[in-house]
Structure 1
Amino acid sequence: MNLPADENGLYAFVMFGMLLYLVAHYIARRIKTGRFSTKSGGFPITSVFDSATFSTSVLLLVGIVEPKVLELIGNTKPFLIIAGIAGVAYSVHALVPKDD
C-alpha cells in the first residue's frame, strides 16, 4: 500500500478506506442477518459516518509514524469536532439503562 504523497492521494486514501469499511460492514451484516439492508429495508446511514471515522482515524494513526502524512492532513479540527460530538453522544447514550 502506498502512503499518500499529495492532497489527491490523501483524499483517495480516505475514499478507499471508507469503501473498504462499507464493504466489510455489508459482508458482516449479510453473514449475520442474511440481508444487506436494515429490517425495514432502509440504508443504515450511520455506517457511512462510521466509515469516515474509521478511514480518518487510520490516516491519523499513519500520520503518527509518517510525518509527511501528518503534514498533508494539516488541520485536524474537522475530525476532532466529529470525534468530540460522537464521544459526547455515546457517553450520554450510555447513561440510559438498557433492558438487559
Structure 2
Amino acid sequence: MEATRPTLSLLAFLGPPIAWAIHVMVVYPLVPWICSTGHFWLFWLAHLAAIGAAAAATLVGWRIHHHTARDGDAATGRAHFLARLGVWAGIFFVFAIALESLPTLLLDPCR
C-alpha cells in the first residue's frame, strides 16, 4: 500500500467533489427527458450513485487516515493530511449531494 498511498489520498480528496460535479452535470440535463418519458427512478439512481461514490471516497480517506496516523515520515504525513482533508470534504459533499437531491425527490420536477 506504500506506493499507492498518495494516489489513494488524492482519490479520497478529489473523489467527493468530482462525484458532486458529475451529479450536477447528469441530473439537470436529464430533467426534460425524465419528464417526457416518466422514468423518475433515474433520479433515485443518479442520486444514490453520486452519494455512493462520494461516500466510498470518504471511506478510503478514513482508512488511509487511520493507517497513516502511526507513521512519521514526510510522504506519509502528506498522505495523512490529504486523507484527513478528504474525509472532511467527503462529509461535506455527501451532505451537499443529499440536500441537492431532496427537491427532485420530494417535489414534482416537471412543473
TM-score, normalising length: structure 2:
0.37
RCO comparison, higher one (Cα < 8 Å, 6+): 2
